[in-house]
Chains A and B, each alone.
Chain A
Amino acid sequence: MRQTIEVLRHVGLGVFVGLTIVCARQWRARTQPALRWATIAFGSLAAIGLIGLVMQQQVFRGLVLWLIKGLLAVLILFPYFLYRFAVAFQRPSRLVMGVARAVTLIAVAYSLAIPRLVLPGMPQPAWLTVYRGVILAQWTILFCIIASQLWWGAKGQTTVPRRRMRTLALASLGMNVAILLSGIAAGTPSERMRLVTQVLSLGSSILFFVGLAPPAWLVHIWRRPEMVGFQGAMRDLFAATSQAEVSRILLPHAVRVIGARGAALVSGTGTLLATHGTTDAPENIVALALSKKDPDTPSVHRVAFRTGAMLIWTSPYAPFFSQSEFAMLDGWGLFVDLALERSAAAERQRMFIANAAHELRTPLTTILGVASTLADARGSLTEAQVQDCLQALERQGARAVLLIRNLLDLAQLDGERLATSIETITVSGVVQHAMEAAPPPPGINVTVKVAPDIVAEADPDRLEQILVNLLSNAYRYGGPDVLIETREEPDGIVLVVSDAGPGVPEELVPHLFEPFTRGNGARASGSGLGLALSKRLAEAIAGSMWYSPASPRGASFSVRLRRSA
């Protein structure tokens, strides 16, 4: 049995040395005060064990009394260090802190004051009984504080941190029972009692290990309920069709996975998309979310992703015990990006359909109104009024047809199914055709400066469509003078249509090539799709298109075409 006890003692010592190394490594990786105290606590216990091993060889005979006094003092400080670990997350009341300090101080002072060593089998003096009582009381008080702090602190945490904290609470209680048993039996230590205390102590040290550095497989088992929730969240996220819906699904799940107090979602452009359970001022939330630095308060966790950031207000225990949950949450970024982009695309599509319907409604209702007026009141209309009505019918019919044609082209371009036939073309020829298709209205003069010998690689019909769109645009928004010219550049031929009108307002430029973007001054007779379509057409015929302000004033649209080989 003695041999078993010795083996258990050595294994227990090994576990404490291992715990010290694990805590020290974690402490180096993340400088949390709790980890410092855990390292000191288990380090001191491991040191006592190692020195005890050496002392068995009886090397330091002369220094034995003071060495043992010192070791006793360190042993008394172990529960105090562990207590500092447990209260590093949340301070207990002043009374509790005062009691912990006082009992530790008394026990250390008593240890340093003992007059001599009393070996087993020697008569037990009264001061030794009192001393033993003081130490047992100090250990018991401190371990009870540690256990209750961790046990009740775990309330409301998610499974992994809760299990870790409660494992540590149980380890503390086990350690306390072991010390109580060995203390009570100290005068007359039986082999069996020593075995029981060694087993208890080893069991507790293993529990400490599990609580502080749980193995991955155990974390996996513990996390199962949260994983089920996580999978549900992902399923819901991908069914979401708006940013609001993404936020509404994401935030409660994030809060549940971490056991947090609240969460907020902020877009990359600094818009607060949603909050859940937090009452912080919106400007503070946005500043915190977009800051490059880590949040000052350790209990605010930021999950940054491509399209924005999520902030989570956690419990004070989370930064230590929920590291693995944070890692899981950080992995959500990709899903959130996908869900947000997907819902933004759905929103764009809804807008597009609404805009298209709105644009179609105007010509169709005008046609309907004119037709019913002609049907009901033709007799009371003058001949000129009838002519106006017929012209309006023609104009609005043409407008509806143009809109539908552009919508179809745009749909084909987005699906990349547009048929093009690239061939060598004479640019001036295409310009001439475009001018015939879109002749300048009265009062507008078009100057063409395109040399007849300039050739490029393009689809002539599509290029003509682009030019007609650009010309119609210039007639609608520009001044009385429109210029078409070409420029030869190293990487191709640039065809430019410019006007001397007011130019594109600065705030409109970023959206210029989006469908249904319209500037002021629009006689809303176009489809609202001309520029969006032209840019995509230019790209479909292996070219490119861009806007720049004309000099000294006006708008200038350039189309780059491939040079003929």
Chain B
Amino acid sequence: MIVQYYRPESMDEALELLARKDLPVYPLGGGSVLSQPTAKRYAVVDLQRLELDQIVQDAKGLHLGATATLQALVDSASLYPALRNAAKRETNFNLRQTATLAGTIVSASGRSPLVTALLALDAKLVWLPGEAEIPLGEFLATREARAGGLLIREVRLPVGSYLGFAEVARTPADVPIICAAVATWADGRIRAALGGPGSAPRLISDGLNSEEAEDAAYNAYSHLSLSSNESKNYLQNTSRLLVRRLLAESKSG
């Protein structure tokens, strides 16, 4: 249950509030997760006044502000088309108006299309205070254990690479059963990520060899101990197929 609500005017004020130790304090983006009732007592720091919603590109790459809404990503012509599509597939139109990029990353399930695409693109999270830059994959692996008091300022993405996204779902707008994203760079680097069963999407390959990426996709769910409605056999074959298609697409595109 939210027992305290703050709307700071400055980043310093926000960080000070987030550093409180007397009760859990969480940054509040769109509120679609934190607004839901729970028995746990906590405070929220609403980030809406901090102008963290900018989407800009410079020499360092793409900078996606933490509170950029998913709809802003969908509407941003400067982004990779596949990333925009993945943002669109994340949730419905209404929720995309308020759900933020950072909130989506923090609460992402294993089947998150957007986080799968960001993983493939080697997204980095920039944290405050300190401007620490942490790879998205590292954050996802440790997010349950991370200390409070921190705030994602932005997500950084490289420019100039190619991103493909593919999925299998029961219907066109359903949560994917499996989704895959493959990013390729001019130097031959290939990063592949899968979304599916499990607590978070997973990076399956980062290297130069496309066959390795396909094999990694096949093996990603080979030790499936996760709750899944699909068989291991299906997940393995479909994962490999989607990555194979995306690799072919990247070569032809």
The answer to whether A binds B is no
Chain B residues within 8 Å of A, Cβ to Cβ: none
Q: CB within 8 Å of B: which residues of A?
A: none
